[in-house]
A and B are shown apart, each in its own frame.
Chain A
Amino acid sequence: MATARSAEQILDEEFLTVRAKLLEVAAAFDRFDRGSGDVKADPRHATLVEAAGLLMTRGPDRAERLQLLFSREYEPGWRSEMGVRAGDQG
C-alpha cells in the first residue's frame, strides 16, 4: 500500500520535525562529551553511534534495522536450551 503523499509533500510537512529530532540526538552526543568521565568504551554508546550511522544508509527499512540493532539476537535453539516443549508437539 503506497503512501497517500508525495515525497516532496512529506518533506514539506516533516522537515522541521525531523530537524528538531536530529538536533536532540546531536545535543545528546554533545552532553556525553561534556560530562565527566568517558563513555566511549560503553557498548551502549557504540550502539548509539552505529545507529546514527545507520540513518545515513539507503533502503526502505531503516526503522526495522534500527530496531534490530537495539534488540537481543534471536536464538533458534531456545526450546532445547530451556527444555521447553513446543505446543502440542510433545
Chain B
Amino acid sequence: MDYIDPHIHMVSRTTDDYRTLAQMGCVAVSEPAFWAGYDRGGVEGFRDYFEQLTAFEPKRAGWYGLQHYTWLCINAKEAEDVQLSREVIAMIPEFLERPGVLGIGEIGLNKNTKNEATVFLEHVDLAMRTGELILIHTPHLEDKHQGTRMILDMLTGDSRIQRERVLVDHVEEHTIRAVREAGFWAGMTLYPTSKCTPERACDMVEVYGPDRLMVNSAGDWGPSKPTAVPDFILEMRRRGHAESLIRRVVYENPLEFFAQCGRFEFTPR
C-alpha cells in the first residue's frame, strides 16, 4: 500500500533508510525541524539546518522516488534561549517560499516552561502573519497531559487560528480526545518504548474513527523505527480492517492536511 510518513527526521537517517522506506511503499515524507541532540550555537546553525532540510533532503529522497516536505522552527528543547529563538523566528521567512516547505513546525512544549510557552506563541504569531500551516510537538511521558492542555489553551485563545490548519502530534489515549474535540488534526507517533505502539494506535482508530487522524514514525537519531507506519498497516490488516480505512489514515489524511498549503505539490504514483 502506498503511504505517507507525515513526521520523520530524515537528516538523522541513512540513505539506506530512504531506500527501505521506498521498498515498503512510502511515497512521501514530511520532516519537521527538531532538536539535533545538542543545542546549536547560534542562528547560523539553524540557517545551515534549514538549507539541509529544503535543498539536500529533497534531493536525497528523490534518489528513491520519494517526495520530501519540511517544516521550519526552533524546537521546544532550545526555546529556553528566548533571544536565540527570536533570531531564528526572524530568519525563518527567508525559507518559507521554498518548494516543499509546508509550514511552521514542530513547535510545542518540552518541560512546559514559561520560556517555551513564550516562544511557542511567537511561532504561532509568525504562522498567522504568513498564513502557514502549523505542526505541533507535545511533551513526553508525565508532561504530555499538562503540556497538551497548555498548547490547546494557547491555540484556542488565538482567534486567528483555523483549527483545521493545525496538526497536534504525538497524541496518546489521554490527549487524543481533547485535541480532536477542539477541531485540530491529531497525529499518533509509533515509538518502540514511549508514545504509541502500532496496536494502541489501531485501538485509537477503532475508538475515535479516522477523521483528522494520522500515524507517523517520528524516526530520528534516538530509538525509533522509520518503518513503523507499515507495522501499523499490518496490524490494521491483521485485525480485519478495510483497505479503504487504512489508506485513509496513512495516505489520504496526510494529503488532505498538506493540501491546505498553497505550495504543496504532490504527484501520485
Contact = CB atoms under 8 A, between A and B. Distances in A.
Contacts, number: 87
Contacts of A61: 173
Interface residues of A, number: 28
A71 B113 CA distance: 16
Nearest to B149: A74
A60 B56 CA distance: 47
Contacts of A78: 112, 146, 150, 153
Nearest to A14: B199
Contacts of A82: 113-114, 117
B205 A71 contact: no
B239 interface: yes
B153 A1 contact: no
Nearest to A68: B174
Contacts of A68: 145, 174
B155 A87 contact: yes
A66 B143 CA distance: 14
Interface string B155-178: 111111100000000001110000
Interface stretch (B21-29, B206-214, B216-224, B260-268): B206-214
Contact of A4 (B145, B156, B240): B240
A11 B205 CA distance: 19
Contacts of B158: 86-89
B121 interface: yes
A89 B173 CA distance: 30
B142 interface: yes
B109 to A, nearest CB: 11
A83 interface: yes
Contact of B143 (A64, A72, A87, A89): A72
Contacts of A87: 121, 124, 154-161
A5 B117 CA distance: 43
B181 to A, nearest CB: 14
Interface in A35-83: 60-61, 63-64, 66-68, 70-75, 78-79, 82-83
Contact of A86 (B143, B154, B173, B203): B154
Contacts of A70: 141-142
Scoring B118, B142, B200, B210 by chain A CB atoms within 10 A of each residue's CB, the highest score goes to: B142
B252 to A, nearest CB: 16
Interface string B114-142: 10011001001100100000000000011
A2 B206 CA distance: 6
Interface of A: 1-5, 60-61, 63-64, 66-68, 70-75, 78-79, 82-89
3 shortest interchain CB distances as A-B pairs: A87-B158, A86-B157, A67-B174
Given A72-B143, A82-B114, 8 more contacts: A1-B208, A63-B200, A67-B172, A70-B142, A71-B143, A71-B145, A71-B146, A87-B155
Interface of B: 112-114, 117-118, 121, 124-125, 128, 141-146, 149-150, 153-161, 172-174, 200, 203, 205-210, 239-241
